Every structure is written in C-alpha cells, then in structure tokens.
Structure 1
Amino acid sequence: MDAHNRVSRCVVSPIKSQPHQRAMTKSCLHIWLSVILLGGLLMSTTNLSADEPSAVRPIIGISTSVVFENENGASYATRETYVQAVEQAGGLPILLPPIETTSSLEAYVALCQGFVLIGGQDIRSERYGKPPHPLEVPMPQKREEFDFQLISRILAAKKPFLAICLGAQEITIALGGSLIQDIASQTSTSIVHGRRQHPAATRHLVHVESGTLLEDIIGTRTLETNSSHHQAIETPGKGMRISARAEDGTIEACELENYGFGLCVQWHPEALTDEAPHFALFRRLIDEARAYRAK
C-alpha cells in the first residue's frame, strides 16, 4: 500500500447530480473519454512523416484509483506525476478507469503498448490467504477486481509494464506470492518505510542485485529511494526474481524472468524524475513499449 494515499487520495471533486441527470451523466462521460483519447492519439501523430513510424509515441496505459463513490457513481483519478513521467519519457499516457465489460478491458490491453500500475491502498488479505490485519486499509472493491483482471491480461500478452508500490504488490499476488501486511508491527526493522507525507519525503538506501534488469537500467548497485508503504513483498510470485532489497532485508524490487520487460518497484520513481536513475525506469519502459509495438 502507498501510505501517502491515506491522507491525500482525492484529486477529483465530485458534483452531486439530480436523479434525472444521472443517465445523461454516464453518456457524457463516455463521450468525453472518447474525445480525450482520440485527441491524444491524433496529437501524437501530428506532423510526423510517413517514413518516421518510430517517432510515434507508444501508448502507455496508467491504472487509476477510485477516489469517490456513491449512488450516483464513482470518480476516478491518478496523480499527475505518473502522467508527467510517462510523457516526459516519450510515451503517450492514457488513464484506464475500472470497467466491467470483458471486451472493453481486452480493448485496453490491445490498445496500449505498455502499462504503469500505480500505488494505492491495500489488497484484501483473503486474496492471498491471510486473515485481515488491524491496520489493513482495503482499496475499493471495484478497483481491486479490475486491477487483477487487467494484470492477468497484461501478463498473458507479455506486454511491458512498470509496477509501482501497490502495483508491485498486485503483480506479486497475481503470480501466487504473499505480502508482509504491516512492516512496522510484523518485523523488527528500524527503517521507516511509510509515513503520511509526500512520497519523496522519506528516504533510505536500496541495494541492487548484480546481473539484474534493474542494475542494467540504472547502472549502479546502490540507490537512494523514497519510501511510502506500510506493506511489502514477503514471498515473490512464480517467475519473479528479487532485484533489490533495503538494508533491513525488505524486498524493494522484483522483475519477471523469461518475460520481456516486467519490473516491480516498491518506491515511487514518478516522484523522483529529476534524478537520473529513477527517470531511467520510465525511459526504459517507453523503449520496451516501442520495441513491443514493432514486433
């Protein structure tokens, strides 16, 4: 879980509607989503000559949080730092709000050449076979169900992804792993991994394993990261290799073997894009998405 999400989750302010407006609201939402997506796609190809297909930006789908929900519906959002990181790295970011229809979900995966799976609240413990923890803060059911449906299809298609904080934990559970439900109460660490602050406020060192994809991307074996989580990977899922640990042994990164590009990090690189090693993660995602599209 992203500890920062406990305090500052909502970036969209809902507007209450009258009963007779609800049907029109849903219709308008679909129209505006279509306009935004089409406009982004058109902008990405403007002024590009026919002999420069590699210059077209790869489409990167970014998962979203349910920030508000009542009888009138839900509001979805993501932090702009995720969007900015993808765009600055050369990708075309689009947001992926939770949907229930299988055909639309599969269309998401077909449309995007790469994905960023964002932070958020906790995965329900029963999903990985543990009783609820007193400090567990479950994410909205709608998001959890959608995220795992999306992830199963991303993995099946072997599409490039960068999974961040909760996203890394979701990949772990999707592949049969497990989580430490609360680092502070279930381990003896002296490192503070999560605070109710901006994700860049709390820092600690991470030691990168030799010969890993992560080492290849950042070019170093030691990295200073931010930290904003109260849970962590306990047992990696099937096909996951540990890429980095904190000094207390907490797993901070994993990567998928025999996959292509599948990288999971427990910190928030999108909040540190002014630092070369962290921005390099997004640059590599875009490069891998472009290569996937060229297959």
Structure 2
Amino acid sequence: MGTTGTVTLKDLAAALELSPSTVSRVLNDPDEGSSRWASAETVARIHRLANELNYSRNPHAASLRTSRSNMVGVIAPSLQDYVFASIYEGIARQASTRGYYSIVSSSHDDEQRRRALTDQILDRHVAGLIFGDAHLDSPGFFADFAKRGVPYLLVSRRLPGELSVTCDDYAGGRIAAEHLLGTGRTSFGVLAGQAGASTAQDRVAGFIDALTEAGIPDSRITAIYTNFDAVSGREAMAGILDIAGVPEAVFATNDFAAIGATGLLRERGLRVPEDVLMCGFNDTPLAEGVNLTSVRSPMEQMGERSMAMLADLADGKQLESEALMPEIVARASTRR
C-alpha cells in the first residue's frame, strides 16, 4: 500500500510480480480485453486485482508526477489536407497499438500559431509531440523546443539536425523526371509547391538534378513556387505559360496542384496528355480518379513509423531519421 493508504500502481505490480510499465499499459488501454501488452490471462489477473483492491487511477496526478501521460500531440499544417489526414490515420492507429491516444491541431503553417498550440498541448503533460508543419526557414522554433525535454520528432517534412520520418522526396523527384524523360520530352514546367517546405525543395531538387544529368539545359526548365493546392497549381501553370510558353511535360509536387494546372491548361485550349504530359506527387485517390500519373508517397506508413519512433523516444531509445521510398504510378496523363 502507498504511504497514504491508497493502492498504487507499484503495489499492484509487486503483488502480481509484474513490471509497473506492463500493469500501467494494461490498465490504461481503453480496450480492457486487449492482450497487446500481456497474455489474456495476465490481463485478466491485472484487472481482477485492481478491482479487488479498489485501485483508482488518477490521470492528472499521474501526469503531474511523471510530467508525462499517454497523450500525444500532433500539429498539422492543415486539417483539410488529404496527405496529412492520411499520415494522421497512421499515427492514430499506431498510437492505439502502443497504448497512447493522440490529439491533432492545425497551425495553418503559421509559426506563431504553432508556438501557441505547442504551449497549450504541453499544459496537458503530453508524452510527446509530432510536428508535420516544419519550415526550412524557421529552424529556431525546434532549437528552442528541444530545451523543454519533451520527446518530439517531425513527420512528412524534415529539418537538418532534427529527427524525422519522411518520404524520400529527393528520390521521388528523380523518379518523376526519369519517367517523363522516358517519354522523350525535352521541355519541362515545375509546379514547385511551398518554398519553405522540405517536401517541395527536395522534390524539385531531385527532379531538376535528374534532368540536368540527362543533358536538359536550365533554359528548358521553368519552376514556380506557390503552394500545394489546386488554386496554386492553376496560378503556377499560368505563370509558366506566360514566362516560357507551353512545356512538353509538367511535374507538380502535389496531386491537387497538378489537377488545378490541368484545368487551367484545358481553359487555354491545351490537352493532357496530347499537348502536355502531367505528373503529380503523393498518389491520392483523386489522382487515380482522374487518371493522373503520380509518385506514390507512403503516407500512412510515415504516420505509423513516426508514432512508433516517438514511443521509442519516450522509452529513452536513440534513433535516426527515416526516409521511406516512393514509387511511380503511371496513368493516362503521361502516355505518349
């Protein structure tokens, strides 16, 4: 018994001859019949003894004692973004498997909002945070955050020196270039996306490097940075047409930008793929619906790995960043 006369988690673990972490995870699991932490027999023993001894868990007190709970905070660039929604599906699924639950908020890619949300989430004594809205031009936030001693990592977007789980976006850009080069095209437009996001920078870098190595001169490549949505794709496509004329092929760093650009081309009397080939990125369900060739990124797997790594970080493990490989899914928009 604890010094106050109440039954503690440590008391239960000692009586059952189990580790406190195992007992804690079983009792904190929302599915009491779950055997993911121990055998079904052991789970039943833990719950039976807890009931017999009138064990009562106080989540707030526990979080104050340990500065940690079984809650994980996730900050997304946008809750309307299909890509991050898919990533979050993976996070939530893995969180449940690991005995955590997650909450998600959107920073709208605004650093001040991210700072405010982070403070609010930390007030709830979370076990850790996953950030999906990192910007290459604002690394100072994470340097400051690291001093707080709370486990965290980045997902989807990377920053030098920060632990992250991403798609290998540079490789994805090269894959797109190699696919379009294989069609014999020699002039290219690039709907580059958001300039401050590593996803955009790395995909564009991989794409242009592959073209350069194939002998395509800079004068045959026009890239415009806007954002990742359909409206931005239209704007960037219009800019490319105004600056360089009609390219033979277009690479968009996001499927939605590619779809917006396709609409703009149609309004200008141009056809995909007859006049312009179009390749997107991420391979969202909408890409398949409109026969858009796209580089498939492992969105849900990124979420699963980021949550698994965060749980390992909370357990004190040393980890390295991971970049998961993409693949091309060829459809009608790039057929010769």
* Structure of higher RCO (CA pairs closer than 8 Å, 6+ residues apart): 1
Structure of larger gyration radius:
2
- State the TM-score, normalized to the length of structure 1: 0.32
- State the TM-score, normalized to the length of structure 2: 0.29
Structure richer in helix, relative to its length: 2
Structure richer in strand, relative to its length: 1
